[in-house]
């Protein structure tokens, strides 16, 4: 096989790859003007390569003249196509001057094909082809150089302006395709136009299509580096094009009329099915990319919301910490006034100070709850664990709450089983006392009448201490039980008994108990049938062993 035959084989490969590249870009987004104009560049380039191929293999002088003029026409048309692609690429709107460019290109193409003013004659000199240029060939040169230099100038100006304004509008994969087009056509003009006309050197003309390897290299870089196309789409297109190619070859080599029609029908069928297949894959990829974009946007929104939540928690922590000091002072002075340390108070004044004291105490509890929640959310809650006798702690809490218990008029009881343990756990004394007080106080608040029974037991099988508060109060609806330990969660019937509740105490209790490696849950037969709150904590020895 001679070198020229190999070159012609490469022509066929170049045409196939051009078609693959152009179709891939077009199918990526058929509605985009840039993609359509690039596909037009590819089609015109394919016409130029095919006409150049036949120009060198035809031996009839009349046909050589026809094909040679067609080759010149495709070359002129390719310059405008390339310019139009760049215009769309850098988003220059269509104007009157564009209409003039179209008319000029159509006129020059017509003159090139049907008149001798561009290509007067094509001669066969040995194995070479020699063109005798017509009287208007210089206008042809002006057309070629003008569109090439104008397009490159537009791109350079846009890149310079974007850098100056620090805008990267052309910073994507298509700019590499554009660069490949510029370089390829620039070399083609030199080898096919300038060298033959000015220096009478045409040996490089038949190699011109091979220079498009620059375009392919930059295109491959754009695909691999910037993910202009999806791998799944590319694989599907390659498979489809190979199938088309083999069916087309079958059609060409068929000799029987029946085989010709059968292969033609098969070719049409595989083209239609292949186009539908490629389109469906493109749509699938587009949908996946949209989902991925939505997932990315959701992740960004989630990160932003997390940051806002953190800032909210910091603000609540700061605000409640600032409120705590004056409330404590108010509560302290109200207590001194009630105890007579600052002189005797009249009955009316004592009643008012008593209300101030109770309201301040309620506010202190609310502020403490908010402060604890903000610390929990920020992860700044500190625990000082030490050995604690849980039974003694419960007895101390009940003793401290005795005045409040006596005020309610409820039947209150505490019972601790005699167990084979000393009830010693590892705990933060102050925080665990707060949990016990909250649970007991919560039961008393929602028990208008009846009883509250506190019990302490030990489960030897699970080696857990069980603290339970059982009341005969308003009870908990079944649908409310799963949400009871969430922030701001309160049953509807609870608002009828205690309108001051915030729905924070049980949430804080749950977080603190879990920090002690324990659990807390509630049970209730239903509304109006009372409820039970159960806290389970491991022994200190079990924690040390783990």
What is the 3-state composition of the chain as percent helix, strand, coil, each rounded to the nearest 5? 70, 10, 20
Whether the pLDDT of residue 108 is over 90: the answer is yes
User: Can you tell me the mean pLDDT for 368-394?
Assistant: 77
Indicate the range of 298-302, 344-348, 516-520 predicted with least confidence. Answer: 344-348
Whole-angstrom Cα distance, residue 467 to residue 478? 22
Confidence of residue 252 (pLDDT cuts 50, 70, 90): low
Whole-angstrom Cα distance, residue 473 to residue 443? 7
Asked whether the beta carbons of 247 and 267 are under 8 A apart, the reply is yes
**Per residue, what are the HEC states of 398-442?**
HHHCHHHHHHHCCEEEEEECCCCCCCEEEECHHHHHHHHHHHHHH
User: Can you tell me the mean pLDDT for 256-284?
Assistant: 79
Confidence of residue 208 (pLDDT cuts 50, 70, 90): low
Q: In 302-405, at which residue ranges do the beta strands (DSSP E only) sit?
A: 386-389
User: Can you tell me the mean pLDDT for 14-33?
Assistant: 74
In terms of pLDDT, which residue wins out, 18 or 121? 121
Mode of pairing for the β-strands spanning 411-416 and 451-459: parallel
Whole-angstrom Cα distance, residue 498 to residue 323? 24
Burial of 516 (0-12, 13-18, 19+ CB in 10 A): buried
The token pair at 250 is 């079958």
Indicate the range of 328-332, 385-389, 435-439, 467-471 predicted with least confidence. Answer: 328-332
User: Can you tell me the mean pLDDT for 232-255?
Assistant: 69
Confidence of residue 109 (pLDDT cuts 50, 70, 90): very high
Confidence of residue 112 (pLDDT cuts 50, 70, 90): very high
Q: Which of 57, 42, 41 is nearest to 9 (CA)?
A: 57
Whole-angstrom Cα distance, residue 78 to residue 41? 6
pLDDT the model gives residue 170: 44
Among 138-142, 152-156, 174-178, 380-384, name the most confident range.
Answer: 138-142
Decide: helix, strand or coil at residue 190.
Answer: helix
Q: Which residues contact 279 (CB under 8 A, 6 or more apart)?
A: 27
Confidence of residue 365 (pLDDT cuts 50, 70, 90): low
Whether the pLDDT of residue 497 is over 70: the answer is no
In terms of pLDDT, which residue wins out, 442 or 218? 442
Whole-angstrom Cα distance, residue 332 to residue 338? 10
Whether the pLDDT of residue 312 is over 70: the answer is no
User: Can you tell me the mean pLDDT for 104-133?
Assistant: 84
Among 231-235, 358-362, 532-536, name the most confident range.
Answer: 532-536
Average pLDDT, the chain: 77
- With a pLDDT cut of 70, the percent of the chain lying above it is 72
User: Can you tell me the mean pLDDT for 208-237?
Assistant: 58
Whether the pLDDT of residue 469 is over 50: the answer is yes
Confidence of residue 511 (pLDDT cuts 50, 70, 90): confident
Q: What is the pLDDT of residues 344-358, one digit of tens each?
A: 777 778 778 778 877
Indicate the range of 102-111, 204-213, 220-229 predicted with least confidence. Answer: 220-229
pLDDT the model gives residue 169: 44
Whole-angstrom Cα distance, residue 440 to residue 428? 18
pLDDT the model gives residue 227: 44
Tokens 């016990």 found at: 436
Whole-angstrom Cα distance, residue 389 to residue 240? 78
Whether the pLDDT of residue 224 is over 50: the answer is no
Whole-angstrom Cα distance, residue 456 to residue 424? 13
Tokens 């904590």 found at: 537
In terms of pLDDT, which residue wins out, 343 or 43? 43
User: Can you tell me the mean pLDDT for 43-60?
Assistant: 82
The token pair at 397 is 């809490």
Q: What is the pLDDT of residues 129-167, one digit of tens each?
A: 778 888 888 899 899 889 888 887 887 777 677 666 554
Whether the pLDDT of residue 258 is over 50: the answer is yes
Q: How far is CA 135 from CA 130, 234, 267, in A?
A: 16, 47, 45
In terms of pLDDT, which residue wins out, 206 or 483? 483
Whole-angstrom Cα distance, residue 517 to residue 385? 12
Whole-angstrom Cα distance, residue 308 to residue 323? 22
Confidence of residue 221 (pLDDT cuts 50, 70, 90): low
């Amino acid at each position: 096989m001679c070198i020229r035959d190999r070159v012609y084989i490469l022509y066929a490969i170049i045409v196939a790859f051009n078609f693959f590249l152009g179709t891939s870009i077009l199918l990526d987004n058929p509605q985009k003007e840039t993609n359509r104009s690039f596909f037009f560049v590819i089609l015109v380039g394919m016409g130029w390569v095919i006409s150049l191929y036949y120009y060198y293999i035809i031996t009839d002088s009349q046909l050589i003249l026809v094909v040679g003029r067609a080759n010149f026409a495709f070359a002129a048309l390719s310059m405008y196509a390339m310019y139009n692609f760049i215009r769309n690429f850098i988003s220059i709107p269509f104007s009157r001057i564009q209409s003039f460019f179209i008319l000029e290109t159509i006129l020059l193409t017509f003159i090139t094909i049907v008149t001798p003013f561009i290509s007067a004659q094509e001669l066969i000199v040995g194995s070479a082809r020699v063109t005798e240029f017509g009287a208007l060939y210089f206008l042809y040169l002006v057309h070629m150089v003008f569109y090439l230099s104008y397009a490159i100038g537009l791109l350079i100006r846009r890149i310079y302006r974007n850098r100056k304004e620090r805008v990267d509008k052309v910073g994507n994969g298509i700019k590499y395709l554009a660069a490949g087009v510029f370089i390829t056509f620039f070399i083609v003009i030199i080898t096919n136009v300038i060298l033959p006309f000015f220096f009478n050197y045409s040996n490089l003309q038949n190699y011109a299509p091979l220079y498009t390897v620059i375009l392919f290299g930059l295109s491959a870089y754009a695909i691999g580096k910037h993910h202009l196309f999806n791998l799944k789409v590319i694989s599907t297109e390659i498979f489809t094009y190979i199938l088309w190619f083999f069916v087309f070859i079958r059609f060409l080599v068929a000799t029987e009329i029946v085989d010709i029609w059968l292969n033609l029908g098969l070719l049409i069928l595989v083209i239609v099915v292949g186009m539908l297949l490629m389109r469906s894959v493109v749509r699938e990829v587009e949908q996946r990319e949209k989902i991925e974009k939505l997932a990315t946007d959701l992740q960004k929104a989630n990160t932003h919301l997390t940051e806002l939540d953190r800032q909210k928690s910091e603000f609540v922590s700061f605000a409640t910490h600032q409120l705590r000091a004056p409330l404590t002072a108010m509560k302290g002075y109200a207590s001194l006034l009630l105890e007579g340390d600052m002189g005797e108070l009249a009955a009316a004044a004592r009643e008012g100070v008593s209300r101030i004291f109770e309201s301040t105490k309620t506010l202190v509890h609310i502020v403490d709850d908010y402060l604890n929640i903000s610390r929990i959310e920020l992860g700044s809650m500190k625990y000082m664990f030490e050995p604690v006798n849980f039974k003694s702690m419960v007895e101390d809490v009940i003793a401290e709450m005795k005045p409040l218990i006596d005020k309610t008029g409820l039947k209150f009881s505490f019972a601790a089983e005699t167990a084979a343990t000393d009830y010693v756990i590892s705990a933060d004394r102050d925080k665990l006392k707060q949990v016990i007080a909250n649970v007991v106080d919560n039961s008393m608040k929602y028990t208008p009448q009846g009883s509250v029974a506190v019990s302490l037991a030990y489960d030897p099988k699970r080696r857990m201490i069980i603290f339970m508060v059982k009341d005969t109060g308003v009870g908990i609806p079944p649908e409310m039980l799963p949400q009871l330990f969430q922030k701001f969660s309160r049953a509807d019937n609870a608002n009828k008994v205690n309108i001051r509740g915030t729905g924070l105490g049980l949430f804080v209790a749950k977080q603190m108990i879990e920090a002690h490696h324990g659990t807390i849950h509630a049970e209730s037969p239903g509304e109006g049938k009372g409820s039970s709150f159960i806290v389970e904590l491991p022994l200190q020895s079990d924690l040390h062993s783990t």
